Amino acid sequence: MELWLVRHGKTEWNLAHKYQGNSDPDLLPGDTSGLSSLQALLAGISFSAVYCSDLRRCRSTLEYLRPDLKAATHYDARLREMNFGEWEGRTYEQLKHNPHYRNWIDSPQTVVPPGGESWPEFEGRIREFAGEVAVDYRKHRAKRLADDPCLIVTHGGVISMLGTILKPGTDFWDAKYKISTGEVLKLKV
C-alpha cells in the first residue's frame, strides 16, 4: 500500500510559530499558502481513497489542491493534530519558562498539556485510523481497485505518528517524517 501524506498549507499561526492543535485557523489566501507546486504534482493522479482531517486548514488544502476529490473524501476527526489544550495559540517563546511545558517538552509521552490530549490518546486514535485504512485497502485490492495510492491530508504530528505506526522500528522524531507545510511524503507500507 502506498500512502501520499500531505501536510496542510500555511496559516497565520504557522508563520507566528503558534501551536495549532485542534484550533481551526484557515489557510493564508491563494499562493501564500505555499500549495502551488503541490497542486501541479497532484494534478491528474488517481487515488484509491482520500482521507482528510476535518479541520479547516486541511479541508481548504484539499479543496485548493484537488477540488474534484471533495465529494469522494472521507473527513475524519481522528486525523486532527494532537490537542495541545491551553497551549494552543501560544508560542514556544511564550511558554518556555512554564515548568509544566518544560516537562512536556522533555517527556511528551508522559506529560499531558493542561486541557489537552495525552500521548497514548493521540497515538491510539491514529493507530485506530491506520488499521481501518489498511482493512479498507485490502477490501479494495481484492476488487482490483487499490493499485492507486491513498491520499491523506492532515497535520505534521499525525504524519510523524502514522510513519511510526506503519514503519515499525522508526521513531516519531525521525527527520524523514518531518515535512513542511504544503509538502507530501510518499510512504510505502
Asked if 51 and 133 touch (Cβ cutoff 8 Å), the reply is yes
Between the alpha carbon of residue 12 and those of residues 9, 42, 57, 134, the distances in Å are: 10, 24, 11, 34
CATH number of this structure's domain 2-188: 3.40.50.1240
What's the predicted TM-score (pTM) here? 0.94
What are the boundaries of each domain within the chain? 2-188
Residue 144: is its pLDDT beyond 60?
no
pLDDT in tens, 36-81: 999 999 999 999 899 999 999 999 999 999 999 999 999 999 999 9
What residues have CB less than 8 Å from 37, skipping those under 6 apart? 182
The three-class DSSP label of residue 97 is coil
What's the pLDDT score for residue 8?
A: 97
In the numeric block, the cell 501564500 is attached to 32
Beta strands in the chain (DSSP E): 2-7, 49-53, 73-76, 150-154, 184-188
Rounded to 5°, the CA angle 16-19-23 comes to 110
In which order are the strands placed within the sheet that holds 184-188? 73-76, 49-53, 150-154, 2-7, 184-188
Say which DSSP state 143 is in.
Answer: T
